[in-house]
């Protein structure tokens, strides 16, 4: 039985999901698919400038797995830039971060996907006295073969 792939935690939702060289129709382009975990690796290591150990910890994966992901991400990106390919960002074994909130008045707790903004009021009682629960960090499964933890 193959070892199940551990989900990579992704804290970021890319706004743009398709990049292509200007002036060339998509039908004439080769498209390179960059998985969301590869993009997250690029973001943490090359954009935020984190050490691989730290970036791996943020994605909840081993340093070695992170090394494999970032190397694949860099190679695909370089290939697209140099050979004029389009880049499509999708898929990957990822677990999107969720944020948990609690109402300080009625103690109601609820979860929102990452990137949806801070809620204005409690869905239970309508109170604005709400707070994000930071310590209880949960993730939901979004990718193929990702089990709920």
Q: 3-state class of 46 per DSSP?
A: helix
Q: Does 111 bind Zn ion (CB under 5 A)?
A: no
Q: Does 124 bind Zn ion (CB under 5 A)?
A: yes
User: Smallest gap, in angstroms, from Cβ of residue 122 to Zn ion?
Assistant: 3
User: Smallest gap, in angstroms, from Cβ of residue 103 to Zn ion?
Assistant: 3
Q: Which of 19, 108, 110, 114 binds Zn ion (CB under 5 A)?
A: 108
Q: Does 112 bind Zn ion (CB under 5 A)?
A: no
In angstroms, how far is the first alpha carbon of the chain from the final one?
A: 20
Q: Nearer to Zn ion by C-beta: 81 or 125?
A: 125
* CA angle, 105 then 106 then 107, to 5°: 100
Stretch that binds Zn ion, among 11-19, 46-54, 84-92, 106-114 (CB under 5 A): 106-114
State the residue for tokens 């935690």: 9
Residues in 60-89 at the binding interface with Zn ion, rule: CB under 5 A: none
Kindly report the backbone phi and psi dihedral angles of residue 34, in degrees, each rounded to the nearest multiple of 5, phi listed first.
-105, 120
Which residues of this chain interact with Zn ion, rule CB under 5 A?
A: 103, 105-106, 108, 122, 124-125, 127
């Amino acid at each position: 039985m193959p070892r199940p792939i551990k989900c990579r935690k992704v804290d970021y939702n890319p706004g743009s999901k398709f990049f292509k060289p200007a002036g060339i129709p998509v039908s004439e382009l080769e498209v390179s698919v960059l998985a969301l975990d590869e993009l997250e690796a690029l973001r943490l290591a090359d954009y935020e400038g984190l050490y691989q150990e730290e970036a791996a910890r943020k994605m909840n994966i081993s340093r070695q797995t992170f090394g494999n992901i970032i190397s694949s991400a860099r190679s695909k990106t370089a290939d697209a830039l140099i050979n004029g390919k389009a880049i499509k960002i999708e898929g990957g074994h990822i677990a999107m971060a969720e944020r948990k909130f609690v109402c300080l008045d009625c103690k109601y707790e609820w979860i929102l996907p990452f990137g949806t903004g801070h809620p204005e009021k409690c869905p239970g009682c309508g109170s604005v006295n709400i707070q994000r629960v930071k310590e209880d960090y949960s993730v939901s499964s979004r990718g193929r073969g990702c089990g709920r933890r």
